[in-house]
Amino acid sequence: MNSEAELEVIIANLAGFCYGVRRAVDTVTETAEAGRKPMYILGPLIHNPQVVERLEERGVKSVDRLEDVPEGSIVVMPSHGVPRRVLEQASEMGLETIDLTCPFVSKIYQTVAGLVTEGYQVIVVGDKGHTEVRGIMSVSGDDAIVVSDPAELINHALKNRVGVVAQTTQRVDRFTDCVSEIAARAYEVRAFNTICHATTERQREALETADGADAMVVVGGRNSANTRRLAEICSDKGIPTHHVETADEIDPAWFAGMKRVGVTAGASTPDWIIGAVVNRLEEIS
């Protein structure tokens, strides 16, 4: 494809599973192997279809409602968390529960609960309808607002005292832009940068990798918010960026005449998928 040199593949130092995702997948895998009880996950455990499929092959099924979990089974709460009422309902139904909500998400619940107690209106910078955001909103009070962009704030009335948190997988620049806009309108603002370290570090590493590449490949589920963010920030640098779930999606024509391609991956992308993508790129060269 490239007559002058092989295509060099540059892999971001931080790519793939973060702590919360690895903890969730390992716990479910080990519990399934023990075979003590049938196990069901309320929604996808993580936002990666291939991992969810592998868990289903081990007998771990995903369900949309607690009512779909048979009596005597274990119900698993996914890494992105669930509305607090769901945990209460599971207890009322007598289901054994494994709560695998990421510790960084759980910390947001605590922060928001404190803000509500102190009388602050809560604003969540995140994707409305996302699993994690729904969980945060369940403890955020009746006047809470979700925005993903500063421009959306024009549609909302703000109180004098406002507390701001972020979905753990948000872009740092978008969070700070929203905080700046809120600070211009509210009398008192308390902002908590609850974007998790794994997200921030992966975004930084993705940008550094993109600096030395002619194109970027971002690996991860299309339903993964943090993976989409990585693709966004790489694309914003003005270089060709391709978001793929698996190696089979890669088209050699994408890299015609190029010398270097960078690879990064979302925090819910397993090593075996990243490895397959890298192998495919090396085959192209």
pLDDT, one tens digit per residue, over 7-56 is 999 999 999 999 999 999 999 999 999 988 999 999 999 999 999 999 99
State pLDDT tens for residues 212-261: 899 999 999 999 999 999 999 999 999 999 999 999 999 999 999 999 99
Which residue, 1, 16, 63, is CA-closest to 38?
A: 63
Domains in the chain, CATH or no CATH each? 8-16+198-284 (3.40.1010.20), 19-102 (3.40.50.11270), 104-195 (3.40.1010.20)
Over residues 110-135, the mean pLDDT reads 96
pLDDT at 36: 82
pLDDT at 86: 95
Instruction: Answer whether residue 2 shows pLDDT above 80.
Output: no
Which string of DSSP letters, residue by residue, matches the chain? --SSSPPEEEE-SS-S--HHHHHHHHHHHHHHHHTSS-EEEES-SSS-HHHHHHHHHTT-EEESSGGGSPTT-EEEE-TT---HHHHHHHHHTT-EEEE---HHHHHHHHHHHHHHHTTPEEEEES-TT-HHHHHHHTTS-TT-EEESSGGGGGGS---SEEEEEE-TT--HHHHHHHHHHHHTT-SEEEE-----HHHHHHHHHHHHHHHT-SEEEEES-TT-HHHHHHHHHHHHTTS-EEEESSGGG--GGGGTT-SEEEEEE-TT--HHHHHHHHHHHHHH-
Known catalytic residue: 132?
yes
- Mention every residue, 6+ apart, whose C-beta is less than 8 A from residue 145: 121, 122, 123, 124, 156
Instruction: Answer whether residue 183 shows pLDDT above 70.
Output: yes
Which string of DSSP letters, residue by residue, matches 30-71? HHHHHTSS-EEEES-SSS-HHHHHHHHHTT-EEESSGGGSPT
How large is the greatest C-alpha to C-alpha distance in the chain, in angstroms?
Answer: 67
Over residues 186-202, the mean pLDDT reads 95
Q: Which of 71, 96, 132, 181 is catalytic?
A: 132
State pLDDT tens for residues 53-106: 999 999 999 999 999 999 999 999 999 999 999 999 999 999 999 999 999 999
**pTM (two decimals):** 0.88
- Proportion of the chain above pLDDT 90, given as a percent: 93
Strand order in the sheet with 161-166: 145-147, 121-125, 161-166, 188-191
Instruction: Answer whether residue 4 shows pLDDT above 70.
Output: no
pLDDT at 1: 40
